[in-house]
Amino acid sequence: MAYRKRTLRKLTPEARKLAKAISQLEGISRKLKNLVPIVERLEVDLRAELKRQAYYKGKPQPKTSETSELEQSNIGDPQC
């Protein structure tokens, strides 16, 4: 909760420090609350990737545009 300048001036120095700490805590909790959906989505993607890797373990993996690009970039003279 934001405090008005007039309200903060009436508070004691200790109360001002406490109000500042409470404000910082609320801001951090708000940022963490916004991160929860992102982390949930990353967990779902990770589980899907692990399942895909487990399925294709020991089997030839299907060709995708990424793997074909990587294979083409490996063809040619070494650039050391």
Domain boundaries, the chain: 5-57
65 confidence band (pLDDT: 50, 70, 90)? low
pLDDT at 40: 95
Q: What residues contact 26, with CB distance under 8 A and at least 6 apart?
A: 1
Query: How confident is the model over 40-58, as pLDDT tens digits?
Result: 999 999 999 999 888 888 7
| Gap between the Cα atoms of 13 and 8, Å rounded | 9
- Residue scoring higher pLDDT (64 or 78): 64
Task: Look up the pTM and report it.
Answer: 0.51
DSSP letter for each residue of 53-72: HHHTTTSPPPP-HHHHHHHH
